Amino acid sequence: MVLMKEFRIVMPLSLEEYQVAQMYMVRKMQQQNTTSTEGVEILENKSFEDDVLGKGHYSSKIYRLQSKAPTWLTTFAPADALIMQEEAWNAYPRCKTVIKCPYFTKFQLTIETVHRADNGQSDNVHGLSKGQLATRDVEIVDIASSARDYWSYVVSSSNTDLSKFTSAKTGRGPLLDGWQDKSKPVMTAYKLVTIDAPYWGFGYRIEHALLLGERALFLESHRNCFAWIDEWFGLTMEQIRELEQQSDSLKEELGRPTLLKSVEDFDQRLLSESEEIYSGQRVQLST
């Protein structure tokens, strides 16, 4: 079974500001989540051009996440099963990321992102077919939500309450109920996540766990984009690229926040928490 879900993350930023904020956030979160034993190896970093995305930046990486393997996975696969290969094509405002696992050769996770200057109400920015629209779930993610669940607790490292936060440099905030309809500027990251792990007996568990993890990562990273606005606001893309080049000259470590406190914790909570997280949050669009 292929899982397809579209996350819509509304932001109180312009498209130009978001591009700077995103690059700043990725660099800072990489630094915050550095470990001495695991990390990401950059294999390739170059410009690209194709007929679909146009011109942009291509990167190829290997993520070593062996210690994050859940107990139920290590019963029939080695710890090396969580070595992931990532290819990313960033042609902002369109981006595409493909993640594969050499051990599970049939597994693939794809994230296709379209950024638009709206408040999340565009219906089909990815140009899906009628059949795809019929199976797609849509969730509008509120970065100011105070709701807490297991995955947000595990991923989150931010203590900023965006319902009380005001930017000193821009005066934006706090993000109160209905802020998405009042914010100027405003933009949305439309992230279409497709996961396919066609393995009998455990494929669904892998697909569902990764979908929950991606949602939590989207929420945390976009919350940080706004919470850190006074740090990146006023920087140019050229300045951000200079910072990125400085980081590339060092050994890069793990670029994704840790999704688990321990493999035992994951194994105990995965099935029970997954249904609870999505209860009341699912939005089904008809075609």
**pLDDT tens string 68-108:** 555 555 565 666 666 888 999 999 999 999 999 887 888 89
- pLDDT tens per residue, range 182-229: 999 999 999 999 998 877 766 677 788 778 878 888 998 999 999 999
- 274 part of a folded domain: no
- Distance from C-alpha of 187 to C-alpha of 184, rounded to nearest angstrom: 9
pTM over 0.95: no
Per-residue pLDDT of 27-51, as tens digits, reads 888 777 656 556 667 788 899 999 8
Residue 122 lies in a domain: yes
Q: Between residues 181 and 62, which one has the greater pLDDT?
A: 181
Asked if residue 283 is part of any domain, the answer here is no
Specify the higher pLDDT residue, 36 or 168: 168
CA distance 98 to 91: 14
Q: Is 165 domain-assigned?
A: yes
Domain extent, residue 75, equals 3-269
CATH number at residue 141: 3.30.530.20
Tens-digit pLDDT profile for residues 217-269: 899 899 999 999 999 999 998 898 887 777 665 444 444 433 333 334 433 44
- With respect to residue 179, please indicate whether it lies within any of the assigned structural domains: yes
pLDDT at 269: 40
In a domain, 282, yes or no: no
CA angle 190-29-82, nearest 5°?
Answer: 80
Structural domain contains residue 79: yes
285 domain residue, yes or no: no
Looking at the structure of the chain, the number of domains it has is 1
Residue type, 280: G
